[in-house]
C-alpha cells in the first residue's frame, strides 16, 4: 500500500513513518512544514506542488493518511477529490462547516473520518453506549475525564467528544454538557454530563467515563501507552479504504 502522508513532520506523522518502515507498506509522498532531501519519499511543502506531482504520477499513492491540523482539512479534501484518492482523516477540531465538506466529498471518494484510530477506543465507544442505556435510567450520573500531554491544543479532545456522543445518543431525554466546573452554589442535575480536560507532561492520552449513584461508582478507562496504537489503527483503516466504495465511514466500519 502506497501512502500519501499529510503532516509528516508532526509527532503522529513521524510515528507513521517509523512504523511503516517495519511493514510491507510504504510512504511514497508526504506534505510537511519544511523541505527535506533526507527522506526516502517525495516531500512537498505546498498543496499546489504536490497536486502537480500527483497529476504527473497518478499511481504514486493508493490512500491519503492525514494526521495534521483542521486548518488544512479543506485543502486535503480538495486534493483527495481531485486525484480520486481515498482519505483516512484522523485530525480533530473541524468546524461544522468542514464536517459538511467532508460529507460532500464522501459522495465521490471513500473517507474514514475519526477522532481516534485506536481499536480499543472504538470498542470503548460501543461499551459506553451499552452502559449508558443500562445505568442512566437507574439514576447514575455521567462524567467524562480526558488527559493529554501539555502540547495538545484542542480541548476537550475529539475522543472525549466521541465518548460523550455515544452516551448522549443512548439517552432518551435531552442532556446538557458542562465543560469543567466552577462556582460555589451549584447543584448538579442528573441530565447534565460534565466533561473535564487535563493537560500536562507527556501523557499520550487517557479517557475515562464515570457512572456514579449514591452507592457506587463505575469507571471505564482507555489509556494509551504509545502513539503506535494510533498508527496501527490508521493503517488498518487505510487498507479498508483501498477497496471501499465512495462513502463516509468510521472505525466501527473498519473493525466490523
The set of catalytic residues is 148, 152
Q: Is 83 annotated as a binding residue?
A: no
Burial class (CB in 10 A: 0-12, 13-18, 19+), 239: middle
Q: Is 169 annotated as a binding residue?
A: no
Q: Is 208 annotated as a binding residue?
A: no
Q: Is 226 annotated as a binding residue?
A: no
Give the number of other CB atoms < 10 A from CB of residue 169. Answer: 11
Q: Is 132 annotated as a binding residue?
A: no
Give the number of other CB atoms < 10 A from CB of residue 55. Answer: 11
Q: Is 23 annotated as a binding residue?
A: no
Q: Is 8 annotated as a binding residue?
A: yes
Q: Is 55 annotated as a binding residue?
A: no
Q: Is 225 annotated as a binding residue?
A: no
Q: Is 196 annotated as a binding residue?
A: no
Residue-by-residue DSSP string for the chain: -EEEEETTTSHHHHHHHHHHTTSS-EEEEEE-SS--SSSSSEEESSHHHHHHHHHH-TTS-SEEEE-S-GGGHHHHHHHHHHTT--EEE------HHHHHHHHHHTTTSEEEE-S---HHHHHHHHHHHHHHHHHGGGT-EEEEEEEE-TT--SSS-HHHHHHHHHHHTT-SS--EEEES---SS----TTEEEEEEEE-TT---EEEEEEE-SS-EEEEEEE---THHHHHHHHHHHHHHHTPPSEEE-HHHHH-
Q: Is 91 annotated as a binding residue?
A: yes
Burial class (CB in 10 A: 0-12, 13-18, 19+), 155: middle
Q: Is 57 annotated as a binding residue?
A: no
Q: Is 9 annotated as a binding residue?
A: yes
Q: Is 160 annotated as a binding residue?
A: no
Which residue positions form the known binding site for NAD(+)? 7-12, 33, 90-92, 114-117
Which residue positions form the known binding site? 7-12, 33-34, 90-92, 114-117, 149, 158-159
Which residue positions form the known binding site for (S)-2,3,4,5-tetrahydrodipicolinate? 149, 158-159
Which residue positions form the known binding site for NADP(+)? 34
Amino acid at each position: 500500500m502506497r501512502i500519501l502522508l499529510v503532516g509528516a513532520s508532526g509527532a503522529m506523522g513521524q510515528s507513521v513513518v517509523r512504523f511503516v518502515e517495519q511493514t510491507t507498506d510504504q510512504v511514497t509522498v508526504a506534505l510537511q512544514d519544511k523541505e527535506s532531501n533526507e527522506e526516502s519519499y517525495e516531500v512537498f511543502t505546498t498543496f499546489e506542488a504536490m497536486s502537480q506531482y500527483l497529476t504527473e504520477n497518478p499511481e504514486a499513492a493508493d490512500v491519503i493518511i492525514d494526521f495534521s491540523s483542521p486548518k488544512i482539512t479543506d485543502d486535503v479534501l480538495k486534493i483527495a477529490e481531485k486525484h480520486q484518492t481515498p482519505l483516512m482523516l484522523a485530525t480533530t477540531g473541524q468546524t461544522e462547516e468542514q464536517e459538511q465538506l467532508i460529507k460532500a466529498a464522501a459522495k465521490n471518494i471513500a473517507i474514514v473520518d475519526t477522532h481516534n484510530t485506536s481499536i480499543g477506543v472504538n470498542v470503548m465507544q460501543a461499551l459506553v453506549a451499552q452502559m449508558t442505556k443500562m445505568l442512566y435510567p437507574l439514576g447514575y450520573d455521567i462524567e467524562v475525564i480526558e488527559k493529554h500531554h501539555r502540547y495538545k491544543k484542542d480541548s476537550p479532545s475529539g475522543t472525549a467528544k466521541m465518548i460523550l456522543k455515544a452516551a448522549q445518543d443512548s439517552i432518551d431525554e435531552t442532556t446538557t454538557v458542562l465543560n469543567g466546573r466552577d462556582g460555589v452554589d451549584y447543584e448538579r442535575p442528573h441530565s447534565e454530563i460534565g466533561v473535564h480536560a487535563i493537560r500536562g507532561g507527556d501523557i499520550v492520552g487517557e479517557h475515562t467515563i464515570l457512572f456514579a449513584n449514591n452507592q457506587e461508582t463505575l469507571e471505564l478507562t482507555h489509556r494509551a501507552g504509545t502513539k503506535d496504537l494510533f498508527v496501527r489503527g490508521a493503517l488498518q483503516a487505510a487498507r479498508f479504504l483501498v477497496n471501499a466504495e465512495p462513502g463516509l465511514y468510521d472505525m466501527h466500519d473498519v473493525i466490523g
